[in-house]
Amino acid sequence: MARDLSKVGDRETLKAQREPHWQRLRTGCYLGFRPSKRGGKGTWIARVYDEDAGKYRVKSLGDFGILPGKEIFTAAKREAEALAELVESGGEIRAKVETVADACRAYAESRPEAKARFERYVYGDLVAKVKLDKLRRRHLAEWRARLEERPSLVSRNKDGETVVRKRAGSTVNRDMAVLRAALAKYLTPGAPNTEAAWQEALKAIPNANGRRTLYLDRTQRRSLIDAADTEAAPFVRGLCLLPLRPGALAALTAGDFDKRTAELTIGKDKTGKPRRIQLPTEAANLLAEQAKDKLPTAPLFMRANGKAWDKNSWKLPIAAAVTAAKLPEGATAYTLRHSTITDLVTAGLPLLTIAQISGTSAEMIERHYGHLASRAAVKALGKLAL
């Protein structure tokens, strides 16, 4: 059960001991109270995790002896949070985090995907202006209802017609997860089943991440490349050769590919952290061809107008190629990523290696492709039969 040091009566019942009685204020920030063995007011301590140093910073805050008992917790909490701001910012005072939008902006400083989601679903919403100390479960429940009612964009054609669909539960979960993470850095979870339990409004929809089953084999993928128009064919081929998210492939620049070592640096992806992978010969040859005579900052896979591909520009040509190649309805750019990962799993490549190459977690690879790995293992064991 979480300890509540804000109650004077509860503090007076705490046992005097060397280790303070700690209360979590938010992730990495704790306020501690050590009762006095001599009957005094006791001492308050702040403990903040320093990510750069890899350890906690501890500071004694004193006993706040001049304040009445009911005001001491507020003063100690303020001091602990001020210390946290100093430690987490490397000694520089950060802008005060007061509202939901402030918390999101601070969280998204080094997380490009989170920043994009907040710009789409939080900053322009009523919840953005709510003060963190006034945030209640109903505020986030109302935001969630608006999010779930908001349709997802499927495609937009040249005539201006927009095709949308109902927002999938898995998409809602991803949008809620980043907001939940941002708020958790500044708010402690509220008491369950109360209006203070803001976190309860952001609980994930269970069993929303269904397994992807649409798979295109190598022959089908070659047919797709052949059916794609001249402009889209290199991009489609890249999706067939590398297990990258379409957005990550589209964001590559000519400078990200090192022809001498056949290495590719992937900077813009879901994780927000760059990674470097070694390419097989066929993929390296494709990227070398795309990078030829381009400036380092130019899109590696460039459209005819000189711009990079995006989800609104690749959907229509890929859909047209799917139809022309008579492939299963519903095949998309993401289907190619799934198909490539499937081939890597069935070939026996370690799941951790696949996770690192594709830019996802080993847990997600295990969840979606673990059954294929088991099947490949059984097949390998069968070859050992005497």
State yes or no: pLDDT of 372 exceeds 80.
Answer: no
Q: Of 6, 362, 386, 31, give the one whose Cα is nearest residue 196.
A: 6
Q: How many CA atoms lie within 13 A of 187 on its CB side?
A: 26
Q: 84: part of which helix (H) or strand (E)?
A: helix 69-88
pLDDT at 126: 94
Q: For 94-150, write each residue's pLDDT tens digit.
A: 556 889 999 999 888 878 888 989 999 999 999 999 999 899 999 999 999 999 898
Name the percent of the chain lying above pLDDT 90: 44
Q: For 27-81, write each residue's pLDDT tens digit.
A: 889 999 999 887 778 889 999 998 888 888 888 888 887 788 888 999 999 999 9
pLDDT at 298: 95
Least confident among 33-47, 200-214, 307-321: 200-214
Report how far residue 23's alpha carbon sits from residue 227's, in angstroms, rounded to the nearest whole number.
62
Q: Which residue has the tokens 């089953």?
A: 213
DSSP code for 192: T
pLDDT at 386: 45
pLDDT at 10: 86
Contact yes or no for 349/255 (Cβ under 8 A): no
pLDDT at 42: 86
- CATH 1.10.443.10 maps onto the chain at 218-382
The CATH class of the 218-382 domain is mainly alpha
Report how far residue 17's alpha carbon sits from residue 233's, in angstroms, rounded to the nearest whole number.
70
pLDDT at 353: 85
pLDDT at 18: 84
**C-alpha torsion angle, residues 257, 263, 265, 266 (rounded to 10):** 100
- For the segment 304-322, the average pLDDT, to the nearest whole number, is 92
What does the mean pLDDT of the chain come to?
85
- For the segment 15-19, the average pLDDT, to the nearest whole number, is 87
Is residue 230 helix, strand or coil? Answer: coil
Q: For 233-291, write each residue's pLDDT tens digit.
A: 999 999 999 999 999 999 999 999 999 999 999 876 665 577 888 998 999 999 999 99
Q: Which residue has the tokens 């001599």?
A: 38
State pTM to two decimals.
0.52
Return phi, psi of residue 356, to 5°.
-65, -40
Q: For 175-195, write each residue's pLDDT tens digit.
A: 899 999 999 988 888 888 899
State yes or no: pLDDT of 294 exceeds 80.
Answer: yes
Report how far residue 113's alpha carbon sits from residue 127's, in angstroms, rounded to the nearest whole number.
20
- Residue 11 CB neighbour total at 10 angstroms: 19
- Checking phi first, is residue 146 left (phi over 0); if not, alpha (psi -120 to 50) or beta? alpha
Whole-Å CA distances, 49 to 28, 90, 124, 216 = 5, 12, 32, 47
Report CA torsion sign: 263, 264, 270, 273.
positive
Pairing of strands 29-34, 43-50: antiparallel
Q: Of 324, 371, 340, give the one whose Cα is nearest residue 216.
A: 340
Name the percent of the chain lying above pLDDT 70: 88
pLDDT at 92: 54
Residue partners of 89: CB distance under 8 A and separation at least 6: none
pLDDT at 185: 87
- CATH 3.30.160 maps onto the chain at 8-88
Q: 363: part of which helix (H) or strand (E)?
A: helix 362-382
86 vs 298, residue with greater confidence: 298
Whole-Å CA distances, 378 to 57, 76, 272, 347, 348 = 51, 60, 36, 12, 11
The topology under which CATH files domain 8-88 is Double Stranded RNA Binding Domain (3.30.160)
State yes or no: pLDDT of 382 exceeds 80.
Answer: no
Is residue 58 helix, strand or coil? Answer: strand
